[in-house]
Amino acid sequence: MPKQTIKLVSWNVNGYRAAMKKDFLDSIKALDADIFGLQETKLQEAQLTKAMKEIDGYQPAFSFSTVKKGYSGVAAYSRMTPRAVRNGLGIPRFDDEGRIVELEFDAFTFFNVYFPNGQMSDERLQYKLDFYEAFFEYTEALRKEGKSLIITGDFNTAHNEIDLKNPGPNSDRSGFLPIERQWIDRIVDMGYVDTFRHLYPETVKYSWWTYRFNARKNNAGWRIDYFFVTGDMIDRGWVKDAFIDNDIFGSDHCPVGLILEI
């Protein structure tokens, strides 16, 4: 059988309504992904417009925060029809913030996730760590069933010093704390592969820049948006390329992507 090439893109749009005013649809058309995930949509269901629900050629799926308006939220769009669509982990504490959309396909299960930010307080940092724990407990159960997994989104953690411009001054800031970085170590030790770093071990590229200090202009950024896959996908030769598209604007994040050949 001929192999199928599948392009996946992830983008934290930092407000879907704002992104729609900044050439979002043109950017999506240019990216030409088969599956794409958006994080931080900051929407309630009633605020979805026709343009958001009916992007030509795509089937949409959404998850919304039910505890706070204009907060969190994720969306996924696919040209391929999923066998199943799910939201959350079945744990209200985490599901109420609308952070997960799961699309199950024959060959793999795709997770679009907006992992929590831990900067606000010690309580939010603990929430973030607890979320990591619960999420990967959920995905490990799927792996034991023999599922191949793709986990993308804003992880809100830079893994190593190569992944941010100023590691020293940020070593005591949530997003680069040792306890957070150790979680990424744990994920890697469990057999999940950071596809960009796997393919480009020495490449310095970032996916997020603060709006302050002309950070994007000066490329003083962080790589906190990832595509992780289970190791079996690497072993099968399915992962062909990964990318970070610094040339697309409209958010404080840029799109990141993955090319599969299955």
The residue annotated as part of the active site, out of 154, 163, 194, 225, is 154
122-144 and 178-189 helices, crossing angle to 10°: 0
- Catalytic, 206? Answer no
- Catalytic, 95? Answer no
- Catalytic, 96? Answer no
The residue annotated as part of the active site, out of 58, 114, 127, 226, is 114
Contact 63, 86 (CB under 8 A): no
Q: What is the DSSP string of 137-203?
A: HHHHHHHHTT--EEEEEE-S---SGGGBS-TTTTTTSTTS-HHHHHHHHHHHHTTEEEHHHHH-TT-
b/e burial code for range 116-148 (CB count within 10 A of at least 16 → b): bbbeeeeeebebbbebbeebbebbeebbeeeeb
Q: Is 252 annotated as a binding residue?
A: yes
b/e burial code for range 43-77 (CB count within 10 A of at least 16 → b): bbeeebeeebeebeebebbbbbbeeeeeebbbbbb
The residue annotated as part of the active site, out of 127, 225, 226, 253, is 253
The helix/strand/coil state of 235 is helix
Q: Is 198 annotated as a binding residue?
A: no
> Rounded CA gap, 167 and 160, in Å?
8
Residues known to be catalytic: 114, 154, 253
- Residue numbers in the known binding site for Mg(2+) are 12, 40, 154, 156, 252-253
- Residue numbers in the known binding site are 12, 40, 154, 156, 252-253
